[in-house]
């Protein structure tokens, strides 16, 4: 592989710092900005108005969309941290309007034809990690040093606070809020809050309000939450009751489908008294 200095034919030299190193195989939109000491290695594609800050490193089968900010010392596309890796590159796919702050790491996919995916409008703060085969949907926030495990999935508008850990193959549902240092070893159902004791503490009322979920719908979600976690039923029977009583509510349907597709089960409810599910 031959590396060249700022010679991509379609990109004005004024948009690429003189110290950047750009692979001849890279495709960079003319409106993208490449900062000092950036290294772009291999067939990377970078979309319109995306900006790479100093010392960012992007390598391999990586596609980055439009209007992204790739911060200082961000690394995208390096091999998975997996002992079975055999020099394959299933890549990384990144959407639009994401903000990757300093020292974010995003690794390439490990499973055949399965790139690591980051959607649109996400904020990944300092030191967060997106591993091989993970999927981050849209409008997700990962606070400083939140860490995902391989094959994990985080759905729309979830917030993972500082030092949160997500076990491999686990999922975090839409509009979940995980507090600082929480560790999820099972799936976290949509609309829930989770504490550092590996358990659900209640519903994410504030998040639902901000997302425009109305009071009537929140009451239905609350009823489903109480069936799931406060009725004394096991998960299977609780889901059956949720389906029979509330299954026509789209948000409750979302909860049911999420729980039924869980491969590792769902996190339990805390044994502590909580009041955060009150309106």
Q: Examine the residue annotation and report whether 212 is marked as an active-site residue of this protein.
A: no
User: Which member of 133, 156, 187, 277 is catalytic?
Assistant: 133
Q: How buried is 279 (Cβ within 10 angstroms: 0-12 exposed, 13-18 middle, 19+ buried)?
A: exposed
Listed residue (25, 22, 69) closest to 47, CA to CA: 69
User: Which member of 103, 132, 137, 151 is catalytic?
Assistant: 132
User: Which member of 71, 149, 150, 195 is catalytic?
Assistant: 150
The DSSP bridge pattern shows strands 21-23 and 3-4 to be antiparallel
Give the 3-state secondary structure of residue 21.
strand
The CA distance from 173 to 188, in Å, is 6
Q: Examine the residue annotation and report whether 55 is marked as an active-site residue of this protein.
A: no
DSSP 15: G
Q: Examine the residue annotation and report whether 216 is marked as an active-site residue of this protein.
A: no
Residue 266: CA count within 13 A, CB half-sphere:
28
List residues with catalytic annotation: 132-133, 150
């Amino acid at each position: 592989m031959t590396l060249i200095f700022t010679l991509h034919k379609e990109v004005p030299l004024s948009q690429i710092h003189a110290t950047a190193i750009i692979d001849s195989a890279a495709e960079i939109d003319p409106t993208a900005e490449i900062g000092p000491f950036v290294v772009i290695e291999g067939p990377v594609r970078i979309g319109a108005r995306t900006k790479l800050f100093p010392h960012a490193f992007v390598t391999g089968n990586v596609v980055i969309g439009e209007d992204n900010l790739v911060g200082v010392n961000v690394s995208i596309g390096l091999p998975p941290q997996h002992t079975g890796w055999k020099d394959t590159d299933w890549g990384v796919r990144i959407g639009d309007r994401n903000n990757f702050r300093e020292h974010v790491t995003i690794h390439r996919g490990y499973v055949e034809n399965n790139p690591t995916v980051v959607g649109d409008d996400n904020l990944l703060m300092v030191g967060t990690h997106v591993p091989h085969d993970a999927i981050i949907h849209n409008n997700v926030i990962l606070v400083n040093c939140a860490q995902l495990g391989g094959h994990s999935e985080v759905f729309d508008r979830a917030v993972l606070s500082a030092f949160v850990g997500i076990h491999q193959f686990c999922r975090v549902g839409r509009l979940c809020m995980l507090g600082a240092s929480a560790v999820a070893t099972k799936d976290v159902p949509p609309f829930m809050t989770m504490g550092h004791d590996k358990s659900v503490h209640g519903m994410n009322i504030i998040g639902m309000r901000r997302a425009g979920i109305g009071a009537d719908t929140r009451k239905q979600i609350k009823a489903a939450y109480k069936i799931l976690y406060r009725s004394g039923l096991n998960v299977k029977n609780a889901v059956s009751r949720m389906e029979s009583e509330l299954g026509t509510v789209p948000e409750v349907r979302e909860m049911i489908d999420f729980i039924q597709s869980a491969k590792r089960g769902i996190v339990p409810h805390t044994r502590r008294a909580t009041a955060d599910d009150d309106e």
